[in-house]
Chains A and B, each alone.
Chain A
């Protein structure tokens, strides 16, 4: 038989086969994805990737990627482990070593910005301003970012070795075992003699009561203007947001929600409002359900929104546990005030954090209120001076 017949026969066979494979890489209408493609990807990654990797990690990634493709900050998939951690966080409890941190200015170390009282780090004498150079064998560098975050959020039983550089440049290795830590919802202090400053760290069940009591306590001491700092609040519980907004509003509908089925719920104020001037501090990290409170309170002439625009997430979400312990967080309600479209909420007084404040934070770990110009602007407004 002629060579050319051989060759053309082989090509035809190859061509048909490849065409069918290519077609099979497209998902069929009934399936959500192409099985052949996933298996192919698994093979390629397994062979090519320079380290050993687990198929189960890739499968978990698959579920996470599926939900993440919606590009909704309030909607995500949680692995069983992460679902557990989330449930505890909702109760104000976290398992950790008690360190809050920021990246250092060269991104080659972490700076401790807070040590939670009675945490493992607290008992190990780790202080604000200390640098974390290494965790176990991993250097704290941007090139190791994912590994570092995993180690910082480790919730197992083994000890994790933190290599700490103190302010006097001495270096020590500190083994820490994560324990259950209860975070306070709220931190307060009196600024400038008569401004009650309330930093809202989390808003879980009961947090509004704590805030209400704190306000009463301030008033008792003759402090009658307040700053409510929600700049870093991105996981407020919706039911608490309703209660907190109620604290500052009189009768009437505060805001409404609508779900996928079109069902509308109106959230009405049930208590009378606090009759004091309040400055609410916001930033781009003011995100999620707390934003509807900011939007609802903005028109009130005795309430001032100060800082930078909020993130612009206008939904409330639900936590749904699946059979195998993993879970979904899904945005289920669109929140709105007066039928207006939700978008990032612009403060009435726009002021950005000074570079000095950030430089001080990443160098010394301290949050110097005197350098926090968003707070000082709020104080000036409440005192009746020009911003």
Chain B
């Protein structure tokens, strides 16, 4: 019995000692305490609005983590963390659109409306701008919270107000939320021997769907492929690595570096598909899309057509804390095999084709209007010869 207590005591001491060793840095926090109390006094005596001490405390942790100056490194309060976990597990259903923040007029723009989604059935088109959800007016400042307002329990409805730039009208749609899994790969034959594959995002099934799609296109006579990664915001790294592997015979697929000297390379396996390939990218092609296009370009496997990609090549890790809060931290960044750091740089296409402003606001372009696609076909045909 005595030994039991001794061992308990030793474990307790060691563990607590290690945990509280850091409390030795209390000197540093004395300065913080002093200044925070001064600020608090000023707010208490002068601030005209309501003061919520809990929110103030949360603000301290949020601000401290945000102080690294990285928009992707942040602190979650316990309730924010719960909401975040719920949204990634699909408990909340949506309307089937992909949105982006349009900086030119500080608005929320819809880049894609998924096939057979509630949004499509209601009549929402790409390039529509979301300006309201139920009773809340929205603009670019609200970009972070829009998914929370649009998503909800399956079967419930949400009133979405949009502004359509091409017609200069505002329309209200009453939409019923559905939990639908949207296929991430779409494909069709373009000309007699050219296949077209659009990859919308990189999800668990994307590789399988892609391989199937390419098989079908090759069986239909495709001797060249246009791979469209425009507006693809990214997704699962291990899936895109498989896809890169599908097209390159050997070498580095992608490098992940932790900025402090550590580096990890993923290498390609021997088997690959050598069908002539041209890849379409634009400024909304991000993350995993950049890994794919960057690898294909570096290995000389495909020419890229379009505009420079977004430049998001970082990996975030979520670290839950004991008290239910959590932090999201950027832990590493991607490099292409030729050493291009994707973050903040993006991948420059071999052939730059910018869409004129009028076409950028048009919801659906015809094949003829799609100048980037036209150039890709031109490049592919000359590659096939």
Interface set of A (CB-CB < 8 Å, partner B): 1, 5-6, 8-10, 12-14, 16-18, 20-22, 25-27, 31-33, 35-45, 48-53, 55, 57-72, 75, 77, 102-108, 138-139, 141-147, 258-260, 284, 315, 318, 320, 322-324, 328, 330-334, 354-355, 358-359, 361-363
**A1-B3, A16-B8, A38-B64 provided; 13 other pairs, C-beta below 8 A?**
A13-B14, A38-B29, A50-B258, A51-B68, A62-B67, A64-B66, A69-B59, A69-B62, A105-B104, A143-B343, A328-B42, A358-B104, A362-B104
Is B234 in contact with chain A by the CB < 8 A criterion? Answer: no
Residue of B at shortest CB range from A71?
Answer: B55
A104–B104 touching, CB < 8 Å: yes
B23–A39 touching, CB < 8 Å: yes
Most chain B CB inside 10 Å of its own CB: which residue of A70, A361, A363: A70
Is B83 in contact with chain A by the CB < 8 A criterion? Answer: no
Spot the interface stretch: B70-78, B208-216, B218-226, B244-252.
B70-78
Given contacts A21-B19, A50-B331, A146-B69, contact A331 B39 (CB under 8 A): no
B29–A13 touching, CB < 8 Å: no
A141–B346 touching, CB < 8 Å: yes
A22–B8 touching, CB < 8 Å: no
Given contacts A41-B65, A332-B48, contact A50 B103 (CB under 8 A): no
In the bound complex, CA of A16 to CA of B16 (Å) = 9
In the bound complex, CA of A75 to CA of B48 (Å) = 10
Residue of A at shortest CB range from B311?
Answer: A143
Give chain B residues whose Cβ lies under 8 Å from the Cβ of A142: 101, 103, 283, 310-311
Output the least CB separation between A280 and chain B (Å): 21
Given contacts A138-B344, A320-B42, A330-B46, contact A51 B67 (CB under 8 A): no
Give chain B residues whose Cβ lies under 8 Å from the Cβ of A72: 47, 49
Give chain B residues whose Cβ lies under 8 Å from the Cβ of A77: 39
Within 8 A of A (CB), among B327-347: 327, 329-333, 343-346
Is B182 in contact with chain A by the CB < 8 A criterion? Answer: no
In the bound complex, CA of A10 to CA of B312 (Å) = 45
B56–A69 touching, CB < 8 Å: yes
Is B121 in contact with chain A by the CB < 8 A criterion? Answer: no
Residue of B at shortest CB range from A309?
Answer: B137
A61–B65 touching, CB < 8 Å: yes
A147–B344 touching, CB < 8 Å: yes
Output the least CB separation between A236 and chain B (Å): 18
Is B321 in contact with chain A by the CB < 8 A criterion? Answer: yes
Output the least CB separation between A285 and chain B (Å): 9
Output the least CB separation between A179 and chain B (Å): 26
Given contacts A13-B7, A17-B12, contact A41 B258 (CB under 8 A): no
B104–A50 touching, CB < 8 Å: no
Is B203 in contact with chain A by the CB < 8 A criterion? Answer: no
In the bound complex, CA of A123 to CA of B230 (Å) = 40
Given contacts A13-B11, A72-B49, A320-B42, contact A37 B61 (CB under 8 A): yes
Is B43 in contact with chain A by the CB < 8 A criterion? Answer: yes
Question: Which of A12, A32, A144 is the one whose CB lies under 8 Å from B60?
Answer: A32
19 pairs of residues in contact across A and B, judged by CB atoms under 8 Å:
A32-B40, A35-B23, A38-B64, A41-B64, A49-B329, A51-B70, A52-B259, A60-B67, A61-B65, A65-B59, A65-B67, A67-B39, A70-B56, A105-B360, A139-B345, A141-B283, A284-B139, A315-B48, A318-B46
A70–B55 touching, CB < 8 Å: yes
Question: Which of B22, B35, B67 is the one whose CB lies under 8 Å from A322?
Answer: B35
Given contacts A45-B65, A355-B165, contact A5 B4 (CB under 8 A): yes
Give chain B residues whose Cβ lies under 8 Å from the Cβ of A8: 4
Output the least CB separation between B107 and chain A (Å): 9
Given contacts A13-B9, A143-B310, contact A259 B56 (CB under 8 A): no
Output the least CB separation between B308 and chain A (Å): 6
Question: Which of B15, B23, B66, B358 is the one whose CB lies under 8 Å from A18?
Answer: B15
B322–A330 touching, CB < 8 Å: no
The 8 closest A-B pairs by CB, nearest first: A65-B63, A61-B67, A69-B59, A13-B11, A58-B67, A143-B311, A9-B7, A50-B259
Give chain A residues whose Cβ lies under 8 Å from the Cβ of B323: 22, 25-26, 37
B7–A331 touching, CB < 8 Å: no
Pair count A-B, CB < 8 A: 296
Within 8 A of A (CB), among B166-195: 168
Give chain B residues whose Cβ lies under 8 Å from the Cβ of A138: 344
In the bound complex, CA of A10 to CA of B308 (Å) = 57
Most chain B CB inside 10 Å of its own CB: which residue of A13, A18, A67, A328: A13
Question: Which of B11, B139, B168, B327 is the one whose CB lies under 8 Å from A14?
Answer: B11
B4–A17 touching, CB < 8 Å: no
Is B58 in contact with chain A by the CB < 8 A criterion? Answer: yes
Given contacts A31-B33, A53-B68, contact A106 B165 (CB under 8 A): no
Residue of A at shortest CB range from B286?
Answer: A143
Give chain A residues whose Cβ lies under 8 Å from the Cβ of B70: 49, 51, 146
A107–B259 touching, CB < 8 Å: no
Residue of A at shortest CB range from B6?
Answer: A9
B321–A40 touching, CB < 8 Å: yes
Output the least CB separation between A353 and chain B (Å): 8
A68–B37 touching, CB < 8 Å: no
Output the least CB separation between B371 and chain A (Å): 14
Question: Which of B48, B57, B63, B102 is the one whose CB lies under 8 Å from A61?
Answer: B63
A32–B66 touching, CB < 8 Å: no
Given contacts A49-B73, A63-B63, A145-B71, contact A75 B321 (CB under 8 A): no
Given contacts A61-B66, A334-B48, contact A143 B59 (CB under 8 A): no
Given contacts A17-B19, A66-B36, contact A12 B8 (CB under 8 A): yes
Give chain A residues whose Cβ lies under 8 Å from the Cβ of B136: none
Is B145 in contact with chain A by the CB < 8 A criterion? Answer: no
B46–A260 touching, CB < 8 Å: yes
A62–B314 touching, CB < 8 Å: no
In the bound complex, CA of A32 to CA of B56 (Å) = 8
Given contacts A50-B331, A108-B283, contact A66 B45 (CB under 8 A): no
